[in-house]
């Protein structure tokens, strides 16, 4: 069993932050630095363990307060950070708007608008990544379209138009019947995992190559040769998933339909496909399925961590064995560089590393 007896420490949120609504890890730092988003839109850099903090930016993204929750999903502000901490994005999950801020200058470099289209069913699709030494941002620009932009200049890097067709009723080449959801960049930074869904509805997580998309085929995210569907689950998306490493993906839920879903994890090899699952469609090869994991998923590249209602559980994703638990601690955030788990609630951070 993994030693999980390290104490969970409690740290008060600095009073000058006010109410903190979200945190995002800055990964490429020697110390476990976080960005913190306050209720008033202030963005701060915070070394939680050392106590150092400074204001580095602000956001004025529309609150979209007139929206009604869909299926329990309430609109919320979400904070994203680039790996080097130079850029932040603030978006409205289950909403339409957001923006990218250069934290060195305070300027908004990219105004974000996903154009709607059942946006209330998914978190705002956005992730930072690296391409040829520059910071890029992957973001939803329509219900069935993702784009990549330069984070510093806002320049679009994946410009494309659906080709015209002589028959107006025909489906254009590269048309994608897919509502993009939460995005996850693989640990090596080379692939994207998309937790989206297609009509009628079926949740179908998918992966594809980032470099090929930016540098080779602008249609890679629609129907490129590197795109692989992970699995299909009727009426089931916007649930826990994570990269284990740069090939394996862990997806929460055992079953192919929301009505029969059971708590657990399924592990897939996204470098291979087979004809299986829903409608016998080509999907990633399933390596293992095991009961137990529930709630949010995280990984340190070796283990799978699941966040239940009260406890953090540690699993071996190769064998499905429970390796340890941290009782009374269910984190909301994970810092992969520092391997630091964190829960923010009521002005207090609870920390386990």
Digit-coded pLDDT (tens) for 65-105: 889 999 999 999 999 999 999 999 999 999 999 999 999 99
- In whole angstroms, give the CA distance from residue 180 to residue 104: 30
Q: Max Cα separation, the chain?
A: 67
pTM: 0.95
pLDDT on residue 49: 84
CB 144 within 8 A of CB 180: yes
Residue with tokens 């974000």: 112
31 pLDDT band, cuts 50/70/90, is confident
Digit-coded pLDDT (tens) for 268-277: 999 999 986 5
Q: Which of 179, 203, 181 is nearest to 192 (CA)?
A: 181
Whether residue 28 is predicted with pLDDT greater than 70 in this model: the reply is no
pLDDT on residue 170: 77
Digit-coded pLDDT (tens) for 307-320: 999 999 999 999 99
SS3 content of the chain, % helix, strand, coil (to 5): 5, 50, 45
Task: Report the chain's terminal Cα–Cα distance, integer Å.
Answer: 16
Whether residue 172 is predicted with pLDDT greater than 90 in this model: the reply is no
Digit-coded pLDDT (tens) for 108-124: 999 999 999 999 999 99
pLDDT on residue 5: 60
168 pLDDT band, cuts 50/70/90, is low
Digit-coded pLDDT (tens) for 256-305: 999 999 999 999 999 999 986 555 678 999 999 999 999 999 999 999 99
CB 60 within 8 A of CB 87: no
- The fraction of the chain above a pLDDT of 70, given in percent, is 95
Digit-coded pLDDT (tens) for 39-75: 999 999 999 988 999 999 999 999 998 899 999 999 9
Q: Quick one: average pLDDT of 195-209?
A: 96
């Amino acid at each position: 069993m993994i030693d999980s007896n390290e104490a969970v420490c409690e740290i008060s949120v600095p009073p000058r932050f006010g109410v903190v609504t979200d945190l995002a890890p800055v990964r490429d730092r020697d110390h476990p630095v976080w960005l913190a988003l306050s209720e008033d839109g202030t963005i701060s850099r915070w070394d939680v363990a050392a106590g150092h903090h400074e204001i580095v930016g602000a956001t004025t993204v529309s609150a979209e307060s007139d929206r009604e929750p869909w299926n329990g999903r309430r609109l919320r502000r979400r904070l994203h950070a680039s790996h080097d901490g130079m850029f932040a994005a603030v978006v409205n999950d289950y909403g339409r708007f957001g923006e990218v801020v250069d934290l060195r200058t305070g300027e908004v470099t990219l105004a974000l608008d996903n154009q709607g289209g059942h946006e209330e069913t998914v978190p705002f699709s956005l992730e930072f990544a690296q391409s040829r030494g520059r910071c890029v941002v992957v973001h939803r620009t329509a219900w069935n379209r993702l784009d990549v932009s330069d984070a510093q200049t806002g320049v679009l890097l994946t410009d494309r138009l659906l080709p015209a067709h002589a028959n107006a009723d025909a489906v254009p080449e590269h048309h994608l019947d897919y509502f993009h959801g939460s995005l996850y960049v693989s640990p090596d930074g080379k692939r994207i995992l998309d937790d989206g869904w297609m009509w009628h509805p079926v949740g179908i997580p998918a992966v594809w190559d980032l470099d090929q998309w930016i540098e080779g085929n602008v249609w890679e995210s629609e129907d490129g040769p590197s795109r692989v569907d992970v699995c299909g689950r009727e009426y089931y998306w916007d649930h826990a998933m994570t990269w284990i490493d740069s090939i394996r993906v862990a997806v929460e839920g055992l079953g192919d339909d929301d009505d029969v879903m059971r708590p657990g994890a399924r592990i897939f090899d996204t470098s291979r496909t087979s004809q299986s699952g829903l409608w016998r469609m080509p999907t990633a090869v399933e390596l293992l399925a095991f009961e137990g994991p529930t709630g949010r998923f995280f990984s340190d590249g070796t283990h799978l961590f699941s966040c239940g209602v009260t406890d953090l559980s540690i699993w071996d994703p190769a064998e499905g064995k429970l390796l340890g638990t941290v009782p009374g601690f269910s984190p909301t955030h994970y810092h992969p560089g520092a391997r630091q788990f964190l829960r923010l609630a009521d002005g207090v951070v609870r920390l386990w590393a």
